[in-house]
Amino acid sequence: MKICYTVDDVRKEVKEWKKQGLTVGFVPTMGYLHEGHRSLMEAARKENDKVVVSIFVNPMQFGPTEDLESYPRDLDKDSKLCEGVGVDLIFHPEPEEMYPEGFCSYVDMNGLTTELCGKSRPIHFRGVQTVVLKLFNIVTPDNAYFGQKDAQQLAVVTRMVKDLSVDTKIHGCPIIREEDGLAKSSRNTYLSEKERQAALILSQSLQVGKALIEQGETDATVVKKAISDKIATEPLARIDYVDVVDFDTITPIEQIKGNTLVAIAVYIGKTRLIDNFIIFS
């Protein structure tokens, strides 16, 4: 496994693979890898000849009051996990490599980025789209793998690739959870023992909503209220949003039909966590 720090070095490696007719799978990450990331790498390993993982804490997608500086980092640990899965190349650039002096070009989108996380993180998805498109242009992958936990990001990237005619197939992979139901996240490391227990309210509240829908409930307002009421039983939890939206357009819906995303963002103490489930029909 190689670790590359520059755009030129990555391109050199990938060009050699493509000369040999090899397919390339790509998993973009911000590092501090966990079982959720491992599942994406395993999917990429199974379906491609070569696998590239990027490890880059992207400053462009963090707001001025967010956790850019404190975001957990551990390249040694990440490298061992990647090597264990069979990753061929890690791309680990510095911010200056991705955004050299004078950088002034961005990728933005109307519609899909305004709801859910876009309400409280208005610059977030512009940063996500810009870095993902840059990474696609650098790695030129045949396939790229994203987790469903960041469902809005998955929808945004899928749409961006379609709209901009990017020759990469996007694969959404299931949420990986702890045994007690908490969705795996690098930010879980911020939680104290008491907060870690309180964070279970996210998956528990979604189970309440999912059960209602499985029982035949189609009124989005009823489902949102049930989820919100469950979250309100946890004193350490503070709701950012509880929403039911069309998964393909990320627009609010009143009646649950078609592909539906039920998504929540909740502060446990100072830590903002997200979770969701998707109903495909």
Catalytic machinery residues: 37
Token digits of residue 208: 């309440």
Query: Rounded distance, CA 119 to CA 227, Å?
Result: 19
Residue with tokens 């795996």: 184
DSSP 105-148: -----SSTTTSTHHHH-TTHHHHHHHHHHHHHHHH--SEEEEEG
What are the structure tokens assigned to 4, written together? 């590359």
What Å distances lie between residue 198 and 48, 208, 226, CA to CA? 39, 16, 18
Can you read off the two tokens belonging to residue 102?
């004078």
**How many CB atoms are closer than 10 A to CB 21?**
7
Strand pairing of 260-268 and 271-279?
A: antiparallel
Assigned token pair, 263? 């998504």
Distance from C-alpha of 19 to C-alpha of 193, rounded to nearest angstrom: 51
Helix (H, G, I), strand (E, B) or coil at 60: helix
- Tokens read off for 105: 């070009």
The structure tokens listed for 145 are: 């793998």
Q: At which residue do the structure tokens 């197939």 appear?
A: 169
